[in-house]
Amino acid sequence: MYGFSVTYGPDARQMRSRQPRQTTGTLMREWSGDRLFVRQHTLCKFMNDKLFADTEQYFIATEGVILNLDELQAEYAVETGTDLFRTLYEQYGETFLKRLRGSFCGLLYDKRQDVCIIYTDQQGSKLLFYTEEGENIRVSSSLQDLAGQTSDKGWDRAGLYNLLSFGFSPTEQTVVSGIRRLQAGEYLRLQGKRLEVRRYHRFANHYRQRTEDEEVTELDRLFRQAVGRIVRKNKQYGLRNLFPLSGGLDSRMLTWVAHDMSEEPIETYTYAPQDFADHRVPASIAGHLGLPWYYKALDGGDFLKNIDAAVRATDQQVYYAGAAEMQYATMELHTETAGVMPTGVGGDDIVSSPIDRERKGYRWSECALQPVFPEHRLLMPTDYLTRYESRNIYYLYTRSFNCYQPAVTLWLQNVTETCSPYLDTDFLEYVLSIPEQHRFNYRLYDRWVKRCYPEAARWPHNGKTIGQRPSEIYIAHRHIALRDLGKRVVQSLSRRMHLYDFNNEDGQIAMNPTMRWLQENPSLAAYIDTYYNGHIGLLDSEPQLQKRVRQVYRQDSWQGRMQALSVLAAVGTLQDRKLL
C-alpha cells in the first residue's frame, strides 16, 4: 500500500533517513528528527502534489492529490505547496485542512512546539492506521505493515464481526487488536507522550429553502467545479482522462459533464456482463458522444477467485468482491498513463437520498448487509449511536465513506489517484443543505439531468425512464417501486425455496449477477467452496465466530458468501505473514 510509515517517540532516534530510492514507477524517501521518523513510499505521479519538505520550523509531507492546490496558491500568492501549507497553518492552525480538496493524507510537524498532526481527507479516502506501543506511537498507510512493526497483536473480534456482518467496518476498529483506523475528517495530534484523535471536519445537514431552479443551478455549478478540478489536474501532468461509464446515472453524468465542459480528450471504460443494460447503455452513450470506449466483459465471474490479492489491496477494510472486480476491469487500460481516475461513488445515495425525510435516530445494525449477531452487538463502541446527528449522516459516513468508496478506490490507488466528484466537499456540503424530500426517489437527480443535460435523459436508468419514475419505498438497502413490491416478495420467497430463475435476474439489468455465475460456472462455485473449506479451520480457536461464519456462508446469498470469505482471507493473510 502506497503512503506513509511514521514512528513518533524514543524509537525514532534509532532510525536514520537514507537517500531517496527510486525504482520503476515508485519512489521511497525518508526523514528523521529527534522524536519523529517518516518514510513515504509513493507512485511517481502527481509529484508536485506530494510534498516532502524540511524547513527551519516545519517538516511537511503529503500523499495523493490536492485538487485545488493551484487555486489556493493563487489565492494566497505563494509559489510552492510548501509555502502554501506553512501559510495556511500559521493562519488557521490545525484546522487549515478544511481548505484542502481532493484525495490526500499527510503530516505537518511543528518543530518548535514538538507537535505532529497526521491527517486524512474529509472523506477518509486515504487509509491511515495507528497504534500505541510503550512510549512510541506508530502510524501507517498499511494495516499489514503496521501489524508487522508491533508485538502481541492478535486478531480483533469486533473487527472480524464487522467484516462478517457489515461487509466493512463502520467504526475505527480493524481486524487487528490494538490498531485503529483514522476516520474521515480526523487527524492525530501527537505531542510528547500524548496521542489525541481530533476532528477538523464533519458533514452535517444545514437545510436552506430555495426554489427548485436555484437548487439545480447551484448543484450543477459545484459538480462542474468538482469534475473540472480533476480534468485540470490531469492536464497539468499530461495524463489521460480515463472515466468510467455504465448504465447508471452516476458515471453517465460524470462522463457527460466532463465531455461537455472540457476540450481535453475523454476516454471511457465499461465493465459488465455482455448484453446486460450496463453493457448496452454505455456503448450507445459513448457512440453518441463520439468517445473512445473500452469494454471488459464480466461474464462468468472468474475474477471472484482473486480473493487473497483483493483482501490485501483493501487492508481488510471491506469485503473483497469490489476490489477483485476493479482489478479485473482495469488490468488492460494502460493505467500507467492515466491521471486521476474518477468514480461515481456516492451519487445515488447523495443526490438521490435513500431517506424521504430527516430522521434523527439510527440503529447499530442499520447498514449491515448480513445479520448482526447478539455477541456482535455487545462489541459496539459505547458512544456509537450518538456520533452522527441523523440517520442520513450515519449512512454517509458508513455506507458511502467506509463501504462503497474503499471497495472501488483502494485497488485503483495501486496504479494512480482516484476520487469521486459526488464526494467533493463543496458539492457534498451543498447537497446536504437540500431537504431529503426534495432528493428522495431521484426527484432532484432527474430534474438536474433533464434541465441541464436533456440528451443524457434519453437512456433509461435501472430500467426506468428518467423523470417518469414510479413511486418507491426503501426496504433492505434498496429502492423498490410500489408497483413491483409483490413481484419482489415472490422473488425473495422463490430464492429461499431454490425456485428462482437467475437467468432472468432483474431483466438483465443487474451489473453483477453473482448467484447466476455461481450456478452457471462450476469452476467458480468449486473454487469458492474449496477456499472456504480450506480456511474455515483457521477459526478453530474462536468457535462462536466460526459458527457465525458458517451460518453466513450457508445462506442463499452471494453477498454473504463474499463476506464470509473475506473474514477467512483476512485471518489467513495475517497469519501467512506471521503477523498474528
User: For the residues 222-226, what does the mean pLDDT come to?
Assistant: 98
Q: pLDDT band for position 357 (50/70/90)?
A: confident
Question: For the ranges 97-101, 225-229, 398-402, 491-495, which has the lowest average pLDDT?
Answer: 491-495
In this structure, are residues 164 and 564 in contact, taking their beta carbons and an 8 Å threshold?
Answer: yes
Per-residue pLDDT, 428: 97
211 sits in the region (left: phi over 0; alpha: psi -120 to 50; else beta) called beta
| Residues 6 or more apart in contact with residue 253 via CB below 8 angstroms | 223, 344, 347, 448, 449, 453, 456
- pTM of the shown model: 0.93
Per-residue pLDDT, 484: 57
Question: For the ranges 66-75, 333-342, 357-366, which has the lowest average pLDDT?
Answer: 357-366
User: Three cell numbers at 227?
Assistant: 469534475
**Cα distance between residue 566 and residue 384, in whole Å:** 24
Give me the count of residues in the chain.
Answer: 580
**Cα distance between residue 467 and residue 448, in whole Å:** 10
142: pLDDT strictly greater than 80: yes
For the stretch 479-495, pLDDT in tens is 566 655 565 555 555 54
One-letter amino acid for residue 259 of the chain: H
User: For the residues 228-234, what does the mean pLDDT come to?
Assistant: 98
Residue 351 buriedness (CB in 10 A; 0-12 / 13-18 / 19+): buried
Pairing of strands 58-66, 115-120: unpaired
For the stretch 429-475, pLDDT in tens is 999 999 988 998 899 999 999 999 999 999 999 888 898 876 666 56
501: pLDDT strictly greater than 60: no
User: For the residues 344-365, what does the mean pLDDT come to?
Assistant: 86
Percent of the chain with pLDDT over 70: 92
Q: pLDDT band for position 152 (50/70/90)?
A: low
Domain boundaries, the chain: 3-199, 212-478
Per-residue pLDDT, 580: 47
304: pLDDT strictly greater than 50: yes
Sheet hosting strand 26-32, strand order edge to edge: 21-23, 26-32, 36-43, 3-8, 136-140, 129-133, 180-181
For the stretch 83-127, pLDDT in tens is 999 999 999 999 999 999 999 999 999 999 999 999 999 999 999
Q: How many other C-beta atoms lie within 10 A of the C-beta of residue 562?
A: 23
Whether 212-478 and 3-199 are alike in CATH topology: the answer is: no
Higher pLDDT, 259 or 511: 259
**Cα distance between residue 257 and residue 195, in whole Å:** 44
**Cα distance between residue 467 and residue 315, in whole Å:** 40
Q: How many other C-beta atoms lie within 10 A of the C-beta of residue 489?
A: 11
Write the CA distances from 114 to 192, 229, 233, 578, integer angstroms.
7, 35, 34, 35
Per-residue pLDDT, 507: 42
Please identify which residue in the block is written with the cell numbers 453483477.
Answer: 512
User: For the residues 148-177, what does the mean pLDDT come to?
Assistant: 91
Pick the CATH number of 212-478 from 3.40.1280.10, 3.40.50.620, 3.40.50.300, 3.40.50.2300: 3.40.50.620
**Secondary structure in 3-state letters for 364-388:** CCCCCCCCCCHHHHCCCCCCHHHCC
Q: pLDDT band for position 186 (50/70/90)?
A: very high
Instruction: List residues bridging with 40 in a β-sheet.
Output: 4, 29
Higher pLDDT, 517 or 305: 305
Per-residue pLDDT, 505: 45
Per-residue pLDDT, 535: 97
Q: What is the mean pLDDT of the chain?
A: 91
CATH architecture of 3-199: 4-Layer Sandwich (3.60)
The three-class DSSP label of residue 467 is coil
User: For the residues 292-303, what does the mean pLDDT come to?
Assistant: 94
Q: pLDDT band for position 51 (50/70/90)?
A: very high
Q: How far, in whole angstroms, is CA 141 from its chain's centroid?
A: 14
Sheet hosting strand 266-272, strand order edge to edge: 241-244, 266-272, 293-297
Residue 157 buriedness (CB in 10 A; 0-12 / 13-18 / 19+): middle
Closest CA to 116 of 17, 196, 41, 51: 196
Closest CA to 162 of 15, 318, 13: 318
536: pLDDT strictly greater than 90: yes
**Cα distance between residue 20 and residue 28, in whole Å:** 6
Per-residue pLDDT, 469: 77
| Residues 6 or more apart in contact with residue 241 via CB below 8 angstroms | 230, 231, 234, 258, 262, 264, 265, 266, 267, 339
